[in-house]
Amino acid sequence: MQITVTVNGDEHTADVEPRLLLVHFLRDTLGLTGTHWGCDTSNCGVCVVWLDGTPVKSCTVLAVMADGRTVRTVEGLADGATLDPVQQGFVQCHGLQCGFCTPGMMMTARWLLDRNPDPSENEIREAISGQACRCTGYENIVRSVQWAAVNKS
Amino acid sequence: MQVPAHFEYERATSVDHALALLAKWGSEARVVAGGHSLIPMMKLRLARPEALIDINDLEELAYVRLDGDVLAVGAMTRHADLLASPLVGEHYPIFHDAERVIADPVVRNRGTVGGSLCQADPSEDLSAAFAAVGAAAVVRGPGGERKVPVREFHTGPYETVVAPGELLIEIVVPVRPGGGSAYEKVERRVGDWAVAAAGAAVWLDGDTVSDAGIGLTAVGAAHFHAPEAEEFLRGSPATDANLVEAGRIAAAHCEPVADQRGPSDYKKHLAGELTTRALRRAVERARGAI
Ligand SMILES: Cc1cc2nc3c(=O)[nH]c(=O)nc-3n(C[C@H](O)[C@H](O)[C@H](O)COP(=O)(O)OP(=O)(O)OC[C@H]3O[C@@H](n4cnc5c(N)ncnc54)[C@H](O)[C@@H]3O)c2cc1C
Ligand code: FES
Ligand code: FES
């Protein structure tokens, strides 16, 4: 099936099988390996990307479901050479530990801050509650998001 | 890597189009809404439809609104939108209580109310909440529309009255004055399915319970429902002793199975305790507390 998906502002057309998952389309077809892939059961959240502006777990979305829609991945966070405040926060506060959960965490954090520029610690923890960090370094991740909230750039 | 087996994909542009596509593909077709139950089942080969009819474009089924004195929830309403709806908070806070503990925010962005009811997982939360408030499901098929009480909607684990070729369109709940509702759940960790959960809706006439609805999930209650406990409460004073007794009766009629979430007697204990807690909160809300 031919699909056209706008990813981080660029239109991509590809011929895919209906059973191809969005996470594999992004990683294998488009080579955008920033989006990670872990549990495969919608539990760990490392595969979170935005679909039409909303974070979803891309291991449970078919690529064909994204036909005609827009996707934003971690590669689309920075504005050229300028990192998004969320990315800067992860650098400043050591939120980027082994880095495996980082892309999903950042996509959810950006979405949270767009809707709620000044979240409480609880609101941050609630927002990322569907995402597992194997380093269990949630303290630094929460601090990174708080840093981004303060340093809006 | 878990990937579903081969299938054909069609995207519906309207309810009528979806029904036409279902008719075209016959009983081997399934609709896909949020896909958060169906796609994992297809990965595990627990489901193997030949065709998927995608109903995500059916914006006409994504709404929460008051139709006269009825709260109507479209089948394609996402969990996140039910949670965000002020109308729901005003009339049936039980749904906000339940949505707060269904999966996690990202899953709630995609999963739908209709998909949850049609999946008919024995641990599904909204089924218990809708059973508690006396909701009805509106189902449309080639022969027209029919309305089924949610308490008759589920015919067994993973089975509902929705026949191949039919679509769940919306769920309707009568809005009645003098009521309060609440949902209580125990899960192993944030975002997990219930070990046990109970929903309650109570209507008061002074200090007397004029009507009550109790829904249960994950504890082997037939049709997610506790009719004996409801019957006990109707016409009784809303005293704490009576709410405790209603919990005891609800638990006595459950048949939980032991699994990785806990032994049967623990779940039975929870069924009673959570029923009482949900009733207490529903009564407080009926009396005007938040
Ligand atoms: C990690 C995780 C945790 C979860 N935790 C919970 C939890 O704690 N509590 C809980 O209750 N749920 C939980 N869920 C389930 C979640 O609520 C799902 O979204 C829901 O079960 C299915 O909704 P869906 O829209 O994704 O349905 P789909 O997966 O698209 O569909 C499910 C079934 O319903 C059918 N269907 C869908 N819509 C219709 C319709 N309109 N008419 C007829 N048939 C239809 C499909 O054909 C399919 O058979 C969890 C899911 C995940 C992934
Ligand atoms: S890989 Fe998608 S949630 Fe874990
Ligand atoms: S930083 Fe290692 S998994 Fe989160």
Write out pLDDT tens, residues B37-92: 999 999 999 999 999 999 999 999 999 999 999 999 999 999 999 999 999 999 99
Task: Judge if A32 and A96 occupy the same domain.
Answer: no
C-alpha–C-alpha distance, residues A18 and B39, integer Å = 12
Task: Judge if A100 and A121 occupy the same domain.
Answer: yes
What average pLDDT does range A23-40 have in this prediction? 97
Contact (CB<8Å) B3/A20: yes
Task: Judge if A100 and A127 occupy the same domain.
Answer: yes
Asked whether the predicted pLDDT for residue B290 surpasses 60, the reply is no
The CATH number given to whatever domain includes residue A9 is: 3.10.20.30
Task: Judge if A53 and A102 occupy the same domain.
Answer: no
Q: What residue ranges define each of the domains in chain B, with the CATH number in brackets?
A: 8-54 (3.30.43.10), 61-174 (3.30.465.10), 179-287 (3.30.390.50)
Reported as a single tens digit per residue, the pLDDT across B201-225 is: 999 999 999 999 999 999 999 999 9
What average pLDDT does range B143-164 have in this prediction? 96
Task: Judge if A56 and A98 occupy the same domain.
Answer: no
Cα A139 to averaged position of ligand 3 atoms, centre (Å)? 11
Q: Enumerate the H helices of chain B as residue ranges.
A: 15-25, 38-43, 79-84, 86-91, 93-100, 105-108, 113-119, 125-132, 227-233, 240-252, 264-286
Task: Judge if A125 and A143 occupy the same domain.
Answer: yes
Chains A, B: CB contacts within 8 A come to: 76
Percent of chain B with pLDDT over 70: 99
User: What is the number of domains present in chain A?
Assistant: 2
Task: Judge if A6 and A43 occupy the same domain.
Answer: yes
Q: What is the pLDDT of residue B184?
A: 98
For A22, counting Cβ atoms within 10 Å of its Cβ (0-12 exposed, 13-18 middle, 19+ buried), the class is buried
Contact between B141 and B19 (Cβ < 8 Å): yes
Which structural domain, as residue segments, surrounds residue A136?
Answer: 85-151
Confirm whether pTM is higher than 0.90.
yes
Task: Judge if A49 and A91 occupy the same domain.
Answer: no
Cβ A39 under 6 angstroms from ligand 3: no
ipTM for this prediction: 0.96
Cβ A99 under 6 angstroms from ligand 3: yes
C-alpha gyration radius of chain A: 15
Backbone angles phi, psi at B131, to 5 degrees: -65, -40
Asked whether the predicted pLDDT for residue B257 surpasses 70, the reply is yes
Of A22, A53, A76, the residue that ends a domain is A76
- Residue B55: closest CA among chain A residues belongs to which residue? A65
Contact (CB<8Å) A62/B39: yes
Task: Judge if A66 and A95 occupy the same domain.
Answer: no
The CATH number given to whatever domain includes residue A109 is: 1.10.150.120
- Residue B103: closest CA among chain A residues belongs to which residue? A130
Question: What is the average pLDDT score of chain B?
Answer: 96
Asked whether the predicted pLDDT for residue B187 surpasses 90, the reply is yes
Q: What is the pLDDT of residue B289?
A: 58
Asked whether the predicted pLDDT for residue A140 surpasses 80, the reply is yes
Please report residues of B whose CB lies closer than 8 A to that of A54: 109-110
Of A76, A101, A128, the residue that ends a domain is A76
Q: What is the pLDDT of residue B1?
A: 75
C-alpha–C-alpha distance, residues B183 and B185, integer Å = 7
Task: Judge if A69 and A91 occupy the same domain.
Answer: no
Asked whether the predicted pLDDT for residue B2 surpasses 90, the reply is no
Task: Judge if A9 and A62 occupy the same domain.
Answer: yes
Contact (CB<8Å) B35/A18: no
Per-residue b or e along B189-225, where b marks 16 or more CB atoms closer than 10 Å to that residue's CB: eebbbbbbbbbbbbbbeeeebbbbbbbbbbbbbebbb
Of A41, A76, A111, the residue that ends a domain is A76
Counting atoms of ligand 1 from 1, which one is nearest the CA of B117? Answer: 34
What average pLDDT does range B243-268 have in this prediction? 97
Task: Judge if A31 and A51 occupy the same domain.
Answer: yes
What average pLDDT does range B162-184 have in this prediction? 96
What average pLDDT does range B130-147 have in this prediction? 97
